[in-house]
Structure 1
Amino acid sequence: MSDVPHLLIPFAASPSPGCQQTLKELPLPHLNRLLARMTLAGTDVGEETDFAPPHERALARALGLPTAKNGITPWAAWQQRHLRGEAIRSKAWAYITPCQWHVSTDHVTMLDPADLQLTPFSSRALMDLLAPWFADDGIELIYDEPMRWIASGDVFEGVSAASLDRVIQRDVRSWMPLADNAEHTRAIHRLQSEMQMLLYTHPLNDARAEEGLPPVNTFWMHGAGRLATVPSASAAPLVPSGLRDAALREDWKQWAAQWRELDAGAVAEIEHHVAAGGKARLTLCGECSSMQFETAERGFGQKLKSLFSRPQRFLDLQNKL
């Protein structure tokens, strides 16, 4: 089924009371018609405390990528496979995202890194400033994009690093990186503390304040690990990102608007494809779990049964996500 279209929807639902109320008043006609034509093929039941959210675990499975404990996938290594070739197997890799932690009496909250508004120029300047401290721990930094750098080093071997989507707007103390090697854990935590001390009074942040921009005071590591085996190429699912920002900010009005747009767009396309006799996959991902649906050939008995059974609707399924 490698040529079968696959729509993978992150943040399709949330246990938040605001989301639950919004869903009761959210018509998703194309999604409901699509679900009525599909069969549940599998579920991935997880916990809200898992370092990897359901949509990352589902994407890893679709791409044939390995997952370690906590569902962690070496995303940085996988991204580098075309640029580094076989060299990626000899190193452990990670993503580094500059960020701002807001420290209060009883919380250390990760604010949305997008609010930093880093440009390619300012991000490179920041990376060049921090690179010597990373180098002291044997870590090489490589610029990738304003909100994400690539890092390589032995310290990322065997590390469980929580996804960025898990920590935004949350207390980071529950999500700090852990490594099989205690020295690696201490090195990462120490480096985060050193960057906080370095940036706290650095002129770089004084200049940002004059421009009305929030300070950068540390970094988050994610997508870490070694990719020992590169999977064969497989078709990547379509992963719409419109629901993400609204869900992370718990802006359920905007989230509903994004869902309506998605239902009238990508979901409608898949629904029309299936209605015309085509095959497709649909993966709905929530805060803890995901559900994958597929079209399948149905015998006469199954077709007869479906005539008398209530079609599955998203509202009935969302509590399982």
Structure 2
Amino acid sequence: MHLLIPFASAVSEASTHVVRDLNLPHLTKLLARMTPAQRFGTDEYSLSTPHERALADALGWHGDDGALPWAARSAAADGIATHDHAWGLLTPVHWHVGRDHISLLDPAALKLADSESRQLLDAIRHLFDSEGWIVEYGATTRWYAAHDTLAGLASASLDRVIGRNVDLWLPNHPKARGIRRLQNEVQMLLYNHPINDEREARGELAVNSFWLSGCGRPQPATPHEALEIDDSLRAPLLADDW
């Protein structure tokens, strides 16, 4: 069995400063018994996270940075017939407007109810339908869209963008222009949606945009040894809790 621990470390200035002064004797002994293998991820601005690259390698997938078909894999796990369509994960999110830039907050902070998520997706569905997109509901924070535009489209992992300036991560490929336009239309529609009015009246965050990630056509997974993923460090890292 293999154990994958996402977010066990990072290359940000804050993390390297903390790690430099840590005394971790048990971890040091454990690591000394292991043999380093392929290294994934030394650039905090890569579109794919290191653990995504490592998992893709274990699955036998091929793809450029940011072009690994996580959406298709997740959609299939949610019971959606993916066929050979090019899928993307549409995550409903809140964009926080600050003084200098717009940042994306962790979707978990929305605490979306199933009924709210379904109504919001139904409200924007016609924008996609009119341009030949397929839109499916997976879970409260997992919507899916399929369109040929998404084949091979590089996009930043959601975990790369949380808490950071979205302008640095929006796709700038010519194929993404139509998606950016759709995103603008979705934002305008959500701005006045009754669900958001009700949420804001309760002091909750509005759903004012979506994030597109994990684009591509399904790839077959090669057999591999049992792999366990422990993502308990995800929330602290994304909150910059060192």
TM-score normalised by the chain length of structure 2 = 0.90
Partner letter of residue 237 of structure 1? Answer: L
The answer to whether the aligner puts 1:72 opposite 2:63 as a matched pair is: no
| Partner deviation per Cα, 1:122-158 (whole Å, 9 max, x = no partner) | 1111111111112122222211111111221222123
Report how many residues are paired.
241
- Matches for 1:214-225 after TM superposition, within 5 Å: 214-225=205-216
The structure-2 alpha-carbon separation of the partners of 1:62 and 1:129, relative to structure 1 and needing over 3 Å to count, comes to same
1:71 & 1:64 partners in 2: Cα distance? 16
| Partner deviation per Cα, 1:81-106 (whole Å, 9 max, x = no partner) | 57567x532x1001110001122343
1:196 & 1:236 partners in 2: Cα distance? 41
The answer to whether the aligner puts 1:130 opposite 2:150 as a matched pair is: no
- Matches for 1:241-252 after TM superposition, within 5 Å: 241-252=231-242
What secondary structure sits across from 1:232 in the alignment? coil
Residue 238 of structure 1 deviates from its aligned partner by 1.7
Partner of 2:10: 14
The question of whether the paired residues in 1 share the 8 Å contact of 2:75 and 2:138 is answered with: no
The answer to whether the aligner puts 1:199 opposite 2:195 as a matched pair is: no
The answer to whether the aligner puts 1:209 opposite 2:200 as a matched pair is: yes
1:123 & 1:140 partners in 2: Cα distance? 17
1:217 & 1:80 partners in 2: Cα distance? 23
Residue 186 of structure 1 deviates from its aligned partner by 1.1
Partner of 2:181: 190
What secondary structure sits across from 1:222 in the alignment? strand
Query: Alignment partner for residue 48 of structure 2, among 42, 48, 52?
Result: 52
Partner letter of residue 56 of structure 2? Answer: A
The question of whether the paired residues in 1 share the 8 Å contact of 2:155 and 2:171 is answered with: yes
What secondary structure sits across from 1:242 in the alignment? coil
Partner of 1:169: 163
- Greater helix percent: which structure? 1
TM-score normalised by the chain length of structure 1 = 0.69
1:45 & 1:84 partners in 2: Cα distance? 31
Partner letter of residue 52 of structure 2? Answer: E
| Partner deviation per Cα, 1:223-261 (whole Å, 9 max, x = no partner) | 11113x413333452221111111111111xxxxxxxxx
Residue 21 of structure 1 deviates from its aligned partner by 4.3
Partner of 2:149: 155
The question of whether the paired residues in 1 share the 8 Å contact of 2:48 and 2:66 is answered with: yes
| % identical aligned pairs | 43
1:213 & 1:105 partners in 2: Cα distance? 21
User: Bigger radius of gyration, 1 or 2?
Assistant: 1
Structure 1 portions without partners, runs of 5+: 253-321
1:194 & 1:154 partners in 2: Cα distance? 20
2:30 & 2:67 partners in 1: Cα distance? 31
1:63 & 1:219 partners in 2: Cα distance? 28
1:166 & 1:155 partners in 2: Cα distance? 22
Residue 53 of structure 1 deviates from its aligned partner by 1.0
Runs of 4+ in 1 over 6 A off after TM superposition: none
| Partner deviation per Cα, 1:65-89 (whole Å, 9 max, x = no partner) | 2222x2531011223457567x532
1:178 & 1:138 partners in 2: Cα distance? 22
| Partner deviation per Cα, 1:35-85 (whole Å, 9 max, x = no partner) | 1111112223542221111111111111112222x2531011223457567
The answer to whether the aligner puts 1:230 opposite 2:225 as a matched pair is: no
The question of whether the paired residues in 1 share the 8 Å contact of 2:155 and 2:215 is answered with: yes
- Matches for 1:243-282 after TM superposition, within 5 Å: 243-252=233-242
